[in-house]
Each structure stands twice: as C-alpha cells, then as structure tokens.
C-alpha cells in the first residue's frame, strides 16, 4: 500500500526513460512520472540538466585552453584586446538562443498540456480546505474512505498507521482515462501538489484552477486492494483489483496543520471506480437506503448482522429502541445512544461483547449518513414507533424486558 512513496513506482510507459537525456534519471527521481505529462516534465528536466552539463564542460574547456594559450610570456608585450568581432558575437548569441527557445517551447507546451484537458475527460471538483481535500465525482458522490498514516517513518506508508495520526482521504480514480480537476478552495490559498504527477498548482478561494492527468494502469507488480480485514477485494467476476497510490500534499503554507494536509489518489480499473462512486452516491436515496449503503460500504457488515444472529457484535435487528444491557447500566437504544455508539463506541459497552468497535468520525459518517443509519435500524426493529398504529398494536410494540 502507498507504494508510491515507499518502493517507488516501477511502471513502464511507452514514453518512459529512453534516450540520451534519460541517463542519470535515478539520481534525481525515485520513480518515473506516473502519467505522460509527468514523464514529459522529467524528460525536460533531464534535458536541461544535460544541456547545462554540456555547456559547462565546453566553457571550462575553452577557458582553460585560452588561459594556457594566451598566458603572459616573458619578453612578449601584452596584446590589445580586440573590442569587437561581429561573426563571433553572432555565433555566441544565436547558438545559446536556439537552446533557450527550445527549452521555452518545451516548457510552455508541457505547462499548457497540464492545464488544457481533452474534451472527453471526466470532470471532477477538487476542494481544498483547512486542512483537508475532498473530491466530488461526476455523479455528485464523494469518497468516504480514508486511511491513517503514522508520523513515524516505519509506519509511513503502512496499512494502519500509528494512533493519533490524521485520517487521509482516498480518492479513487480510473486508469487510462483523462481526469479533469476543477480546483477551488473553501478558505485560504492552498497548493495542489502531487510529486508523482510532477505537478504543483495553486488552489484559490475565489477562482477555479484546473489540472488534468491520465494515469497509467497499475503494473503487474502493483499491490492488490484489501478490505479492512486484510482480505483481498474481488469484483463480481472474481477478479482481484490492483491499484497504485499517489500522494497529494499541500504546498502552500496554509495554517498550523498544513503539513498534514494529505490525500491519496488511488488509481484503479475503470469498472471498479464506477462501482465505487455508484456505491457512494447518496443523492436521490431515501434515508433507509442511505443507511443500508453505509452499512455495506463502511464495513459495519463485517461485525454486525441484520438477521438477529449473534456475530462479533450485537445484531441490528430489533436494536432500535430496545433495552441494551451495558457496563453503564441498561439503556434505551434511541437516536442519541446509537449516535454515541458510532462516534464514541467505548462510552458504553454492550454486555457480552469486547470493546473493539472502531471509532467513526463525522467525516466518515456525516449527519445525513447518521440519519440514514438510524432510519435503517428503525426499519428493521420491532420496537420502533414509526409504523402505523394498527401494526404497532398487533406486534408486541412494548420495550423488551430487562435482562433476566
Ligand atoms: C470490528 C467490528 C465492528 C465494526 C466494523 C462495527 N462495529 Fe459496531 N459494534 C461492535 C461491537 C463489538 C459492539 C458492542 C460493544 C460496544 O458497545 O462497543 C458494537 C456496538 C455498536 C452499536 C451499539 C449496539 C448495541 O447493541 O447497543 C452500534 C449502534 C454500532 N455498533 C454501530 C456500528 C456502525 C454504524 C458501524 C459501521 C459504520 C459499526 N458499528 C461497525 C463492533 C463493530
Ligand atoms: Cu493547504
């Protein structure tokens, strides 16, 4: 995971490090630019480097040659320095000019290439804020996934990070498709910096800036996506999913947690990307449907069952408004209790269960999703009061008896 920073991206691009200019690439870069625009930047960098080396060697060589050839010799008077030589001056103006014009054109072209997206690219909005990034996908969804990255170098790039580190959002992006970011800031100026993409663009509070990229497909050595239990994720067809991560940093000093303003662009196959953003799309869904979506997509399903069977955690069937025996006494599982159980699971531990429910943040489960979860639990509980009066009377709509 996060292999882009730890092991270097080993992708092979048709346009990769080839040609005289690419010699020494590894002195400067730990990996190849992860898309054609980035490779172009690397290439220009290496070309400028070797042009500079060539000129340096040439100038030093003629300097030493002249120093020796025209050194002061005893008995010879010092000659007058010629004040002007038009052919010579034309040569030493025009030849360097050709190099400079080449560098300018290449740089300008590469810069414009990074700004102007192909017409058929996927349009997304990248929003910067103190101190986080969010991406809004073409269908209006945004990614609820994130990961922890430890501050110690051992865990940096590790799967779990160390406690206390900030959750870093993960933005799934399809491979081999142009993706176009429209970038805006909610507060101050930030700077979108993805070293693997060789890109750094300012993000302003009052003006859109744009950037686009077309990421290469994860190569054969790329890691496989795993779920929170370490099991490899497969598509409906049973195919495992390879991915590559690229870090986003903020390169504008924007406040005290500026250095922790990270994000991850995760390149996955197109079909997996489409499934993901559909999964996260809560627009046009009822609260119950949103709750069910959260149950499936945030990993609640790994521990909680819906059918009353006792799993690693209490079932959600008939949970809402039931009486829950906990280490803080018996409580009614109402909206506030459910909310507390999700944001601060350790506050009250249900009898007979370990305290190993993960903490969820308001960024992972926002208010709409929380309402969705509560509505969903309501819909599968016989204690909820929201059915019509008749059915309620028929069913035993009394609170459950206390633990016997
Ligand atoms: C790793 C397993 C695990 C996962 C994943 C998990 N939970 Fe839990 N959850 C537990 C355990 C164990 C308990 C009981 C102990 C406690 O009260 O903390 C619990 C308790 C709860 C309770 C209180 C239940 C009761 O009977 O009083 C709620 C509500 C809850 N979880 C919601 C969620 C939601 C929502 C998610 C997903 C966003 C989730 N849980 C994911 C393990 C898990
Ligand atoms: Cu910033």
Tens of pLDDT, residues 74-95: 888 887 877 888 999 999 999 9
Residue 127 shares a structural domain with residue 232: yes
The rounded Å distance from CA 203 to ligand 2 centre is 9
Residue 334 shares a structural domain with residue 197: no
Residue 341 beta carbon below 6 angstroms from any ligand 1 atom: yes
Q: Determine the pLDDT at residue 395.
A: 43
Integer Cα distance of 375 and 60 in angstroms: 78
pTM, entire model: 0.63
Ligand nearest to the CA of 191: 2
For residues 108, 33, 171 and 175, what is the CA-based torsion angle, rounded to 10 degrees? 100
Take atom 42 of ligand 1 and give the residue whose Cα is closest.
357
- Among the candidates 277, 298, 318, a domain finishes at 277
Alpha helices in 232-324 (DSSP H): 270-280, 287-297
Take atom 34 of ligand 1 and give the residue whose Cα is closest.
300
Residue 265 beta carbon below 6 angstroms from any ligand 1 atom: no
Residue 129 shares a structural domain with residue 171: yes
Please say if the pLDDT value at position 119 is more than 70.
yes
Answer yes or no: is 184 within a domain: yes
Please say if the pLDDT value at position 12 is more than 60.
no
- Among the candidates 227, 252, 277, a domain finishes at 277
Q: Which domain holds residue 55?
A: 3-72+85-115
Integer Cα distance of 42 and 198 in angstroms: 8
Ligand nearest to the CA of 400: 1
Residue 321 beta carbon below 6 angstroms from any ligand 1 atom: no
Please say if the pLDDT value at position 385 is more than 80.
no
User: In terms of DSSP bridges, do strands 146-148 and 167-174 run parallel, antiparallel, or are they unpaired?
Assistant: antiparallel
122 and 180 in contact (C-beta within 8 Å)?
Answer: yes
Residue 306 shares a structural domain with residue 226: no
The rounded Å distance from CA 143 to ligand 1 centre is 22
Ligand 1 atom closest to 294 (CA): 38
Mean pLDDT of 102-120: 89
How high does pLDDT run on average in the chain? Answer: 81
The rounded Å distance from CA 338 to ligand 1 centre is 9
Integer Cα distance of 44 and 21 in angstroms: 9
- Which residues, 6 or more positions from 291, have their beta carbon under 8 angstroms from its beta carbon? 369, 372, 373, 374, 375, 376, 377, 379
Ligand 1 mutation target, pool 299, 303, 315, 327, most atoms within 8 A of CB: 303
Integer Cα distance of 345 and 148 in angstroms: 19
Residue 314 beta carbon below 6 angstroms from any ligand 1 atom: yes
Q: In CATH, what number is assigned to the domain containing residue 249?
A: 2.60.40.420
The rounded Å distance from CA 39 to ligand 2 centre is 26
Answer yes or no: is 208 within a domain: yes
Residue 389 shares a structural domain with residue 298: yes
Residue 271 shares a structural domain with residue 135: yes
Question: What pLDDT band is residue 351 in, cutting at 50, 70 and 90?
Answer: very high
Q: Determine the pLDDT at residue 150.
A: 53
Q: Which of 77-91, 97-111, 287-301 has the lowest mean pLDDT?
A: 287-301
Phi, psi of 253 (to 5 degrees): -65, 105
Residue 237 shares a structural domain with residue 100: no
Q: Determine the pLDDT at residue 232.
A: 82
Residue 53 shares a structural domain with residue 164: no
- Which residue is associated with the tokens 């092991």? 7
- Among the candidates 228, 256, 277, a domain finishes at 277
Take atom 16 of ligand 1 and give the residue whose Cα is closest.
349
Ligand nearest to the CA of 319: 1
Residue 304 shares a structural domain with residue 158: no
| Residues lying with their CB under 5 A of ligand 2, a single-atom ion | 190, 250, 254, 261
Three-class DSSP category at 289: helix
Ligand nearest to the CA of 144: 1
The rounded Å distance from CA 115 to ligand 1 centre is 46
Take atom 7 of ligand 1 and give the residue whose Cα is closest.
357
Q: Which of 13-22, 176-185, 208-217, 364-373 has the lowest mean pLDDT?
A: 13-22
The rounded Å distance from CA 342 to ligand 1 centre is 7
Answer yes or no: is 282 within a domain: no
Count the neighbouring beta carbons within 10 Å of the beta carbon of residue 164.
Answer: 8
Please say if the pLDDT value at position 157 is more than 80.
no
Residue 12 shares a structural domain with residue 31: yes
Number of separate domains in the chain: 3
Which tokens hold the place of 79? 């000659």
Q: Cα–Cα distances in Å, from 7 out to 40, 226, 245?
A: 22, 18, 11
Residue 246 shares a structural domain with residue 317: no
Ligand 1 atom closest to 354 (CA): 12
Residue 301 beta carbon below 6 angstroms from any ligand 1 atom: no
The rounded Å distance from CA 350 to ligand 1 centre is 9
Ligand nearest to the CA of 263: 2
Q: Determine the pLDDT at residue 166.
A: 63
Residue 360 beta carbon below 6 angstroms from any ligand 1 atom: yes
Phi, psi of 134 (to 5 degrees): -135, 150
Which tokens hold the place of 130? 């103190």
Residue 324 shares a structural domain with residue 246: no
Between the two ends of the chain, the Cα-to-Cα distance in Å is 48
Task: Give the sheet arrangement for strand 132-136, strand by strand.
Answer: 132-136, 122-129, 178-185, 209-214
Ligand nearest to the CA of 291: 1
298 and 363 in contact (C-beta within 8 Å)?
Answer: no
Three-class DSSP category at 353: coil
Ligand 1 atom closest to 324 (CA): 27
Answer yes or no: is 194 within a domain: yes
Answer yes or no: is 77 within a domain: no
Please say if the pLDDT value at position 394 is more than 50.
no
Ligand 1 atom closest to 365 (CA): 38
Phi, psi of 260 (to 5 degrees): -100, 10
Q: Which of 10, 23, 18 is nearest to 40 (CA)?
A: 18
């Amino acid at each position: 995971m996060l292999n882009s920073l730890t092991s270097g991206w080993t992708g092979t691009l048709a346009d990769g490090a080839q040609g005289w200019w690419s010699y020494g690439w590894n002195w400067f870069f730990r990996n190849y630019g992860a898309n054609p625009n980035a490779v172009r930047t690397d290439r220009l960098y290496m070309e400028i480097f070797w042009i500079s080396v060539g000129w340096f060697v040439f100038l030093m060589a003629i300097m030493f040659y002249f120093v020796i050839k025209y050194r002061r010799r005893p008995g010879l008077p010092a000659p007058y320095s010629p004040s002007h030589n038009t052919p010579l001056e034309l040569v030493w103006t025009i030849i360097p000019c050709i190099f400079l014009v080449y560098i300018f054109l290449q740089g300008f072209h590469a810069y414009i290439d990074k700004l102007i997206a192909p017409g058929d690219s996927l349009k997304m909005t990248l929003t910067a804020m103190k101190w986080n990034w969010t991406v809004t996908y073409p269908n209006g969804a945004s990614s609820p996934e994130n990961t922890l990255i430890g501050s110690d170098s051992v865990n940096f790039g590790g799967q779990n990070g160390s406690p206390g580190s900030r959750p870093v959002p993960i933005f799934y992006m399809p491979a081999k498709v142009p993706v176009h970011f429209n970038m805006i800031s909610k507060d101050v100026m930030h700077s979108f910096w993805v070293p693997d993409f060789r890109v750094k663009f300012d993000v302003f509070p009052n003006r859109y800036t744009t950037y686009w990229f077309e990421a290469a497909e994860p190569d054969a050595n790329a890691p496989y996506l795993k779920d929170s239990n370490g099991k490899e994720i497969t598509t409906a067809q049973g195919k495992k999913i390879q991915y590559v991560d690229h870090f986003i940093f903020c390169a504008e000093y924007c406040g005290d947690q500026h250095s922790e303003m990270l994000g991850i662009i995760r390149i996955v196959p197109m079909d997996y990307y489409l499934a993901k953003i559909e999964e996260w799309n809560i627009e046009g869904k009822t609260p119950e449907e949103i709750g069910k979506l959260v149950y499936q997509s945030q990993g609640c399903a790994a521990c909680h069952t819906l059918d009353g069977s006792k799993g690693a955690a209490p079932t959600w069937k008939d949970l809402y408004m039931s009486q829950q025996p906990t280490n803080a006494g018996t409580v009614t599982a109402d909206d506030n209790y459910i909310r507390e159980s999700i944001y601060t699971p350790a506050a009250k531990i249900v009898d007979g269960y370990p305290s190993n429910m993960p903490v969820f943040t308001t960024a992972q489960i926002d208010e709409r999703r929380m309402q969705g979860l509560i509505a969903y639990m309501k819909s599968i509980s016989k204690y909820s009061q929201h059915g019509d009066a008749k059915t309620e009377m028929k069913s035993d709509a009394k609170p459950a008896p206390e633990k016997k």
